[in-house]
């Protein structure tokens, strides 16, 4: 890393952006990334063939739709979607989450489409 | 994984143990682990030669002593200690944290000693 890491206050970082469904990197860990995102509405069905994906809800309420059932997460709750498992996040209210996954993981996985965005670093 | 992952409520998990300085695994992500721990007092100075280590404070207040300066974390704040960097966590009050690092990472890193404990899975 080119600079020494600093403490990350998640609430402060969440004030720095308002776009929905855009992942913002706040820390690196080896070849993994810690990212924040704000969600509202429904994403797209997709899967990640080569990695599990961790969702941790900071505020709001997130439903991770799976093919067989839904997983509902409130603040302080986390869930790992296993690699290869189709999922579609949906949030009725604006919801803030932390994501943890390998660097370079694409938000829409195998689905692509207009909601595909590369994660951006937050200062 | 042998069983499908379930949602993890961190507050519920924290009611399931009281030991200090013992890491409890609550989720797997690829070959990484999400662990919870309760801390009070001072740990031992150590480093991890082969991995960065993420600390996220859930409740309480954690000071991560580094050789050059300290990093103080409250609830909702996280910090990644880079690999090879000596650090010594200390908490004046009981503090609950989430840890994220590769499976098999030893809590005392290169230091060893009586506080060395292997992470245990929480049901």
Whole-prediction pTM: 0.94
Q: What's the pLDDT score for residue A118?
A: 84
Residue indicated by tokens 């694409």 = A106
Token pair of B103 as six digits: 């499976």
What average pLDDT does chain A have?
A: 94
pLDDT in tens, A11-60: 999 999 999 999 999 999 999 999 999 999 999 999 999 999 999 999 99
Q: Name the 3-class secondary structure at A13.
A: helix
Contact (CB, 8 A) for B108 and B119: no
A-chain CB neighbours of B102 within 8 Å are 30
Q: Which residue of B has its CA nearest to A6?
A: B79
pLDDT in tens, B85-96: 999 999 999 999
Q: What's the pLDDT score for residue B84?
A: 96
Nearest by CB to residue B78, choosing from A8, A51, A79, is: A8
pLDDT in tens, B31-84: 999 999 999 999 999 999 999 999 999 999 999 999 999 999 999 999 999 999
**Complex ipTM:** 0.93
Q: What's the pLDDT score for residue B77?
A: 98
pLDDT-derived band of residue A90, with 50, 70 and 90 as boundaries?
very high
**A contact set with B (CB within 8 A):** 1, 4-11, 26-30, 32, 34, 51-54, 58, 71-73, 76-83, 100-102
Q: Which residue of B has its CA nearest to A83?
A: B30
Taking the CB of residue A102, how many other CB atoms lie within 10 A of it? 17
Task: Kindly determine whether residue B30 and residue A51, on different chains, have CB atoms separated by under 8 Å.
Answer: yes
Min distance A38 CA to chain B CA atoms (Å): 16
Whether the per-residue pLDDT at B10 is higher than 90: the answer is yes
Give the mean pLDDT of A82-86: 96
Task: Kindly determine whether residue B34 and residue A51, on different chains, have CB atoms separated by under 8 Å.
Answer: no
Q: Choose among B38, B41, B43: nearest CA to B58.
A: B38
pLDDT in tens, B54-65: 999 999 999 999
Measured at the CA of B78, the angle between CA A37 and CA A123, to 5 degrees, comes to 55
Residue ranges of domains in chain A, CATH in brackets: 10-121 (2.60.120.10)
Contact (CB, 8 A) for A93 and A60: yes
Task: Kindly determine whether residue B76 and residue A58, on different chains, have CB atoms separated by under 8 Å.
Answer: yes
d(CA B20, CA B44): 13
Whether the per-residue pLDDT at B97 is higher than 90: the answer is yes
Min distance A102 CA to chain B CA atoms (Å): 9
Whether the per-residue pLDDT at B123 is higher than 80: the answer is no
């Amino acid at each position: 890393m080119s600079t020494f890491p600093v403490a990350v206050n998640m609430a402060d970082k969440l004030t720095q952006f308002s776009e929905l469904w855009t992942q913002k990197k706040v820390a690196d860990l080896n070849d993994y990334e810690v990212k924040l995102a704000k969600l509202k509405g429904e994403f797209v069905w997709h899967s990640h063939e080569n990695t599990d994906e961790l969702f941790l809800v900071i505020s709001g309420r997130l439903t991770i739709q799976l093919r067989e059932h839904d997983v509902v997460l409130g603040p302080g709750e986390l869930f790992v979607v296993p690699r290869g498992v189709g999922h579609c996040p949906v949030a009725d209210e604006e919801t803030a989450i932390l994501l943890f996954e390998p660097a370079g993981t694409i938000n829409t996985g195998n689905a692509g489409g207009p909601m595909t965005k590369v994660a951006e670093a937050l200062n």
